[in-house]
């Protein structure tokens, strides 16, 4: 794995964040995530101001690994990189965006859920794939099945991940890391429940350690 993918794997859990008020919430959220033991964030472009949120989080916590999610165009790649994003996540597999990121030298994790997706990713030279939406697409059982012919990939499932099934996913050697929004829900962020976010991050880290030490 490349350096960014290895760092994500070491952290193990990636908060997937939609920020409606980045000027107000980005900085305290970044601090809460870092203090909770998850110094990484996938800031989705589903909300306006995503690039500003990336910039503010990266400036507030320089040690944090901040990337962009739900990236649909090369223009969004440029916008994210200009804001300081260190990695790009796409909901599906778009060879144009993957090649563009590769030309830019930035790590890219496209959403893949079928053998065709995996085969295309193999030809693109990728190593780590996002599996989205994870639970709705067959979950861990399908990830394990696809890993038989495509053992070269590490997988980052996102979608339907929670504290209830986190250990099950992380215990699988195919899994690089898990993406999740359960620790950064709209309610928690919009109501500025930073202590609760920190607590959920700490619980996630405890589950991660249990899974990897089993």
Catalytic residue ranges? 42, 130
At 186, list the tokens.
């709209």
């Amino acid at each position: 794995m490349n350096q960014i993918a290895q760092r994500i794997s070491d952290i193990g859990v990636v908060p997937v964040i939609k920020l409606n008020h980045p000027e107000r919430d980005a900085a305290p959220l970044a601090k809460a995530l870092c203090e909770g033991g998850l110094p990484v964030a996938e800031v989705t472009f589903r909300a306006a101001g995503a690039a500003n949120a990336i910039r503010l989080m990266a400036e507030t916590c320089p040690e944090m690994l901040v990337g962009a999610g739900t990236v649909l165009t090369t223009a969004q790649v440029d916008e994210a990189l200009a804001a300081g994003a260190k990695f790009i996540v796409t909901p599906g597999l778009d060879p144009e965006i993957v090649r563009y990121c590769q030309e830019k030298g930035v790590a890219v994790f496209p959403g893949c859920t079928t053998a065709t997706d995996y085969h295309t990713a193999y030809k693109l030279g990728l190593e780590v794939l996002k599996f989205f939406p994870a639970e709705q697409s067959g979950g861990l059982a399908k990830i394990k099945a696809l890993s038989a012919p495509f053992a070269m990939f590490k997988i980052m499932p996102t979608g339907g991940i929670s504290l209830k099934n986190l250990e099950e996913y992380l215990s699988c050697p195919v899994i690089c890391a898990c993406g999740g929004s359960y620790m950064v829900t709209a309610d928690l962020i919009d109501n500025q429940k930073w202590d609760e976010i920190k607590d959920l991050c700490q619980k996630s880290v405890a589950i991660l350690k249990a899974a990897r030490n089993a």
